[in-house]
C-alpha cells in the first residue's frame, strides 16, 4: 500500500508511536488513513480507543502500546467502520479482553461481518488494493460490552465516561471523555484535515451530536478527532457551525423541491461530500434513512 509520502508501506509497517497529549493520555496516528488511536493509562489498567483496520496494523499497534505500558487493556470502538474496529480480534482475542461499543455497533459487527468486510473492500479496492484484500479476509470480533446512552469505567482509578451523543457520523457513535485530563475522544464525529464522511451519516442530527460534545469541553480541552491532528474546542465549534449550515441547506432545498445537487453546489465541505450528505438528509426527511 502507499503511505502518505507516496512510498509503498506494508500493512502495519511505519505505524509510529504514541505521543503524550495530556497526563496519562497518549495518541497514535496511523499514517495511511490518519486514524487516531488513544491510550489512557491508569494505575494497574489501561484503555485503548479504536483498534485500526487489520491484523497487521493491530499487531503493530500492540507493540506500540507495550512501549508505553504493560497494564492490561480494555478496548473501546468509537463506531463500527473498519478503520476503527477491525483490529479487535488481534488485540482482544488472545488473551481475551473486554471490548466496549454502542449497542448498535456491536450488533452490526456480530450479525453482519460479511457485509462489513465487503463494504470495506469496496471502499478501498481502487486506491489501496493491498489493504482491500487484507480487509476482505480479516477476522472480526464483536464487542461484548455495550453502551446505550452512557457508561462510566474505572481505568486504574481514573474515571472514563463513554457517551452516545445521538446519531451523527453513524447511528452508533461513542465519544470517550477523560475528565481528570480534560480530554475528549470524538471519533469520526469530528474530523481534521478532510471533510466529514456522510455515507452512513445522519446529517440533520449530526449538529446536535456535536453540540453535545461542546457541552463537555472547556477552552483547554484536548479533542482527539477520528482522523488528523489533535484539535481544541474552538475547532469543534467551527465544524459544528459548518454542519449546522449544511443541515439548514438540506432542509431548505428539500422543502423547495430542489434536487440534492443544489445543496452540493452551495454547502460546506466540498461538492462530493455535500452531495452524499444531501442524499442522506433527504432520506431522513422522507423517512427512508
Question: What share of the chain has pLDDT > 70, as a percent?
Answer: 95
pLDDT at 81 over 50: yes
Q: Does the domain spanning 19-197+214-232 belong to CATH 1.10.1660.10? A: no
pLDDT at 273 over 90: yes
- The pLDDT score that the predictor gives to residue 266 is 85
pLDDT at 265 over 70: yes
Q: How confident is the model at residue 4 (pLDDT cuts 50, 70, 90)?
A: very low
C-alpha cell at 182: 480534560
- The pLDDT score that the predictor gives to residue 241 is 98
- Rounded to an integer, what distance in angstroms lies between the CA atom of residue 163 and that of residue 289? 23
- Rounded to an integer, what distance in angstroms lies between the CA atom of residue 156 and that of residue 206? 33
| Phi and psi, residue 30, nearest 5° | -70, 135
- The pLDDT score that the predictor gives to residue 1 is 31
Q: How confident is the model at residue 288 (pLDDT cuts 50, 70, 90)?
A: confident
pLDDT at 39 over 90: yes
- The pLDDT score that the predictor gives to residue 270 is 92
Angstrom distances, CA of residue 171 to CA of 44, 92, 107, 189: 33, 24, 12, 11
3-state secondary structure of 89: helix
pLDDT at 127 over 60: yes
Q: How confident is the model at residue 9 (pLDDT cuts 50, 70, 90)?
A: very low
3-state secondary structure of 256: coil
Query: CA angle, 128 as apex, 123 and 132 as ends, to 5°?
Result: 60
pLDDT at 19 over 50: yes
- Rounded to an integer, what distance in angstroms lies between the CA atom of residue 223 and that of residue 221? 6
- Rounded to an integer, what distance in angstroms lies between the CA atom of residue 163 and that of residue 105? 13
**What does pLDDT average to over the chain?**
94
- Rounded to an integer, what distance in angstroms lies between the CA atom of residue 287 and that of residue 289? 6
Q: How confident is the model at residue 289 (pLDDT cuts 50, 70, 90)?
A: confident
pLDDT at 13 over 70: no
Q: What average pLDDT does this structure show over 4-29?
A: 73
Comparing 289 with 142, the larger pLDDT belongs to: 142
Q: How confident is the model at residue 95 (pLDDT cuts 50, 70, 90)?
A: confident
3-state secondary structure of 273: helix
Q: How confident is the model at residue 97 (pLDDT cuts 50, 70, 90)?
A: very high
Tens-digit pLDDT profile for residues 213-228: 999 999 999 999 999 9
Q: What average pLDDT does this structure show over 260-278?
A: 92
pLDDT at 8 over 60: no
pLDDT at 12 over 50: no
Return the domain boundaries, the chain: 19-197+214-232
pLDDT at 3 over 80: no
- The pLDDT score that the predictor gives to residue 128 is 95
Amino acid at each position: 500500500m502507499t503511505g502518505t509520502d507516496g512510498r509503498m508501506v506494508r500493512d502495519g509497517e511505519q505505524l509510529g508511536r504514541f505521543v503524550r497529549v495530556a497526563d496519562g493520555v497518549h495518541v497514535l496516528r496511523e499514517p495511511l488513513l490518519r486514524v487516531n488511536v488513544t491510550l489512557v493509562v491508569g494505575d494497574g489498567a489501561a484503555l485503548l480507543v479504536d483498534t485500526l483496520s487489520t491484523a497487521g496494523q493491530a499487531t503493530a499497534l500492540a507493540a506500540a502500546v507495550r512501549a508505553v505500558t504493560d497494564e492490561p487493556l480494555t478496548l473501546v470502538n468509537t463506531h463500527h467502520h473498519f478503520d476503527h474496529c477491525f483490529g479487535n480480534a488481534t488485540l482482544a482475542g488472545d488473551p481475551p479482553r473486554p471490548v466496549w461499543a454502542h449497542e448498535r455497533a456491536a450488533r452490526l459487527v456480530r450479525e453482519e461481518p460479511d457485509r462489513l468486510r465487503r463494504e470495506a473492500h469496496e471502499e478501498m479496492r481502487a486506491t489501496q488494493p493491498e489493504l482491500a484484500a487484507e480487509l476482505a479476509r480479516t477476522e472480526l470480533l464483536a464487542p461484548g460490552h455495550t453502551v446505550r446512552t452512557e457508561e462510566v469505567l474505572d481505568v486504574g482509578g481514573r474515571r472514563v465516561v463513554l457517551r452516545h451523543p445521538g446519531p451523527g457520523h453513524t447511528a452508533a457513535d461513542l465519544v470517550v471523555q477523560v475528565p481528570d485530563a480534560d480530554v475528549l475522544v470524538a471519533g469520526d464525529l469530528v474530523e481534521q484535515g478532510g471533510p466529514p464522511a456522510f455515507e452512513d451519516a445522519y446529517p440533520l442530527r449530526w449538529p446536535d451530536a456535536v453540540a453535545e460534545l461542546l457541552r463537555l469541553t472547556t477552552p483547554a480541552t484536548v479533542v482527539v478527532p477520528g482522523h488528523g491532528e489533535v484539535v481544541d474546542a474552538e475547532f469543534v465549534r467551527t465544524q459544528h457551525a459548518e454542519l449546522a449550515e449544511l443541515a439548514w441547506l438540506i432542509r431548505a432545498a428539500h422543502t423547495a423541491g430542489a434536487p440534492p445537487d443544489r445543496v452540493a453546489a452551495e454547502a460546506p465541505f466540498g461538492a462530493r461530500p455535500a452531495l452524499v450528505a444531501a442524499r442522506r438528509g433527504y432520506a431522513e426527511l422522507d423517512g427512508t434513512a
